[in-house]
Each structure stands twice: as C-alpha cells, then as structure tokens.
C-alpha cells in the first residue's frame, strides 16, 4: 500500500476536521498515564520517543465495565432492554506498536465461541494511527514476542518520524486506506523512497528469551519450584492484568438499581485474584498465588498460542513497570529459558 509524507500541521488539520465532524479522538495523555479523549487538535500526541502510557488503550475496545442489558420486572412480566450500541467513530492517534498489536490478538478470543458484537463494533468504528517507537527501557521486550518498534500489526495507518515535524504516513489496512482517502490534504505528497529498517535495528530492545523454548518448557513442566518463588512475592493485586493490553478476564454480575430493575454488567476481572476460580462449594483449584501466577504465564505463552496461534503478550513491559513488588515477567521467562536450555544439555 502507498505511503505519503505528512507534517505535524497536516496531522493537526486532520484532527481538527475529525472533531468538527463529531469523531472521538484519543491520544496518550501528557503525563503518559493513559489514553485521554481530546477536545482540541493541539492535544494530539504523536511522540515515538515517549514511554508507553501506564495503562494500555484496551479499554477503548473492551471497557472496564459494560452493560449487556437492562432488566425491569413488572409483576410477573420481565422486560429486557438493550443498551445503546457503541456507535461513535473514533481515531486513536500515536498508539505504540505494542498497543496496536493487541487488537488482533484480543479479536481472536472475542470471536471464538461467541462473537462479541460490542467489541467488534468498536474495532470496526476505530482507526488506529500508530507511530514507530524509539523508546526503550529495561522492561520492554517486544522483540522477544515477534514484534518490533516498527511493527504495523493492528494499525490502520502508521507514522514514521523522519525529521522535525515530518513523518512518513504508511497505509496499512484497507480500512485505513478508505479513511485517509476522505482527507485528500493528507495524501498529496507520495513517498516513493524506501525506508531503511535494517539501519534502525541496532536500537531495538534486545531479545530477552526465545519464545519457542519458553513454550516448550511450559508444555512439559506444569509443576516447578519457579512458581513458588514468584508466588511468594506476588500480592495478587492484579495491577499487571489491568494495565496489560492483552489480558481479558471478565466477570458478569447483575446489579439491582431498585426493587424490580437493574442491569447485567461485564466487568474486568483477573486470574490473579483468589476469588476468580473459587467454586460455590468453597473449593479453589488455584488456591495460592503460585498457581495463579503459573496460570498467567501459561495462558500468555503456552495455551493462547495452542488455541489461537497468537502470543498473549506484546512485550510492552507495563506489567513489570506497574508491579508493586517488582516482579519482572521477562526475567521469569528468561529463567524458564535457562531451565529449558539446561534440560536440553
Ligand atoms: S502486579 Fe505484581 S504483585 Fe500484583 S498480581 Fe501482578 S505480579 Fe502479582
Ligand atoms: S504481559 Fe506484560 S509485557 Fe506482556 S502485554 Fe501484558 S503488560 Fe505488556
């Protein structure tokens, strides 16, 4: 697909036009804590150098709390009402490649045994404009899970900064092409050169572990001392799951808002909570934190790959940055790889 040269001022004009047409626009907040909704084009952040926001943009597709239906009981008659469909056209500006890549990964589970229409509608209504990433810290490991700071997976349009206030705008998806064609001022100057990706690779985060080795070890070693070591540290607070772009556990509850009416709600949950697997009988098959952390790692690096041929992790490092007791998931995976290498020798 084609690429174009665009300036920051053209990007601002695009945002201004979208706002005038009542599109919702989201971008990373100045304090890099989360994605925020913009009221003015001047708030748009297209910053490849910036740290990934503390919280991913997952909630724009999979809200923290979502009403599935409302109910009302009038004597013996029960009435169900659908909530409003998510209809707002949305553009996300300046997503990191490790955020964008989570969308197709989540789409697999939300279209597995049931098509989640609300999730699908939000994906359909959203244009993801990502930017090549030049930030890296000790928590990043996108290159260990098959991605890179230039990965276009999950993006509709992709920006590569070239010089000050100038970018290559790559069209990635058909949806992105259809969208950008509606704004002719964005596609005036075609980029016909080639971008030398090889030159950039020296600054990519180093590969910390070999995914295939980790998966193989996990498949053969359900019980191991490593889970007790991490489990003793882990608080079970689920901070790692809530900031993660790919974690998708949820719970469904009925909330009454009167004697005879209420709503059924889908809320974020986490396999790191003790109650998550507790049976009505009181039995809990994951009765301690070592078992819960083992589940988290196996789900991400073993089971999801088996079921959906995807790794349930984009290597964004948010869980490590956010963990109150400094559990570093990449370090755990490095240790697992060492165990696998030792087993082979
Ligand atoms: S954030 Fe850290 S302490 Fe909290 S559940 Fe996750 S790994 Fe455990
Ligand atoms: S598990 Fe951690 S590093 Fe992987 S996607 Fe989730 S938050 Fe990012």
d(CA 35, CA 189): 30
Residue nearest to atom 2 of ligand 1 (CA): 323
Residue nearest to atom 1 of ligand 2 (CA): 313
d(CA 318, CA 243): 6
Contact 187, 4 (CB under 8 A): yes
| pLDDT tens digit at each of 345 positions of the chain | 899 999 999 999 999 999 999 999 999 999 999 999 999 999 999 999 999 999 999 999 999 999 999 999 888 899 999 998 888 899 999 999 999 999 999 999 999 999 999 999 999 999 999 999 999 999 999 999 999 999 999 999 999 999 889 999 999 999 999 999 999 999 999 998 888 888 888 889 999 999 999 999 999 999 999 999 999 999 999 999 999 999 999 999 999 988 889 999 999 999 999 999 999 999 999 999 999 999 999 999 999 999 999 999 999 999 999 999 999 999 999 999 999 988 877
Return phi, psi of residue 195, to 5°: -90, 125
Q: Which residues, at least 6 apart from 78, have a Cβ–Cβ distance to it below 8 Å? A: 71, 72
Buried b (16+ CB within 10 A) or exposed e, 289-316: bbbbbbbbbbbbbbbbbeebebbbbbbb
d(CA 227, CA 250): 24
Radius of gyration of the chain (CA): 22
For residue 309, the CA-to-ligand 2 centroid distance in Å is 17
- Provide the whole-model pTM: 0.94
Residue 57 DSSP class: S
Q: Which residues, at least 6 apart from 178, have a Cβ–Cβ distance to it below 8 Å? A: none
d(CA 131, CA 167): 9
H-type helices in 150-238, by residue range?
174-181, 211-220, 225-233
Residue nearest to atom 6 of ligand 1 (CA): 240
Burial of 42 (C-beta count, 10 Å sphere; 0-12/13-18/19+): exposed
For residue 158, the CA-to-ligand 2 centroid distance in Å is 22
pLDDT tens digits, one per residue of 140-188:
999 999 999 999 999 999 999 998 899 999 999 999 999 999 999 999 9
For residue 11, the CA-to-ligand 2 centroid distance in Å is 30
Contact 240, 296 (CB under 8 A): yes
Strands 24-28 and 90-95: parallel
pLDDT tens digits, one per residue of 61-109:
999 999 999 999 888 899 999 998 888 899 999 999 999 999 999 999 9
What is the CB-side half-sphere exposure of residue 134 using CA atoms within 13 A?
11
Residue nearest to atom 8 of ligand 2 (CA): 316
Q: Is the CB of 323 under 6 A from ligand 1?
A: yes
CA-to-CA dists, residue 169 to 10, 84, 217, 219, 292, angstroms: 11, 34, 41, 41, 42
């Amino acid at each position: 697909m084609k690429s174009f040269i665009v300036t920051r001022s053209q990007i601002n004009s695009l945002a201004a036009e979208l706002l005038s047409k009542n599109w919702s626009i989201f971008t990373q907040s100045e304090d890099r804590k989360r994605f925020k909704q913009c009221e003015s084009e001047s708030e748009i952040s297209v910053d490849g150098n910036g740290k990934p926001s503390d919280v991913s943009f997952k909630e724009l597709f999979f809200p923290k709390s979502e009403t599935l239906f409302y109910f009302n009981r009038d004597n013996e008659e029960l009435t169900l009402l659908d909530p409003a469909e998510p209809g707002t056209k949305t553009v996300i500006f300046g997503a990191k490649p490790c955020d964008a890549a989570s969308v197709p990964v989540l789409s697999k589970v939300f279209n597995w045994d049931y098509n989640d229409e609300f999730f699908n509608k939000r994906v359909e209504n959203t244009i993801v404009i990502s930017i090549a990433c030049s930030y890296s810290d000790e928590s990043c490991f996108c290159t260990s899970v098959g991605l890179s700071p230039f990965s276009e997976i999950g993006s509709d349009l992709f920006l590569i900064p070239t010089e000050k206030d100038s970018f290559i705008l790559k069209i990635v998806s058909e949806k992105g092409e259809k969208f950008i064609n509606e704004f002719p001022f964005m596609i005036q100057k075609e980029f016909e050169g080639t971008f030398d990706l090889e030159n950039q690779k020296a600054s990519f985060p180093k590969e910390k572990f070999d995914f295939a080795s980790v998966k193989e070890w996990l498949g053969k070693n359900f019980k191991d001392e490593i889970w007790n070591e991490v489990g003793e540290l882990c608080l079970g607070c689920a901070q790692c799951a809530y900031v993660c772009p790919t974690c998708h556990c949820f719970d469904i509850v009925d909330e009454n808002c009167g004697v005879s009416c209420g709503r059924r709600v889908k809320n974020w949950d986490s396999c790191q909570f003790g109650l998550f697997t507790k049976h009505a009988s009181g039995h809990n098959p994951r009765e301690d934190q070592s078992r819960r952390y083992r589940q988290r790692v196996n789900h991400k690096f073993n089971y999801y790959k088996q079921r959906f041929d995807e790794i349930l992790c984009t290597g964004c490092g948010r869980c490590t940055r956010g963990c109150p007791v400094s559990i570093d998931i990449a370090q755990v995976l490095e240790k697992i790889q060492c165990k696998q290498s030792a087993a082979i020798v």
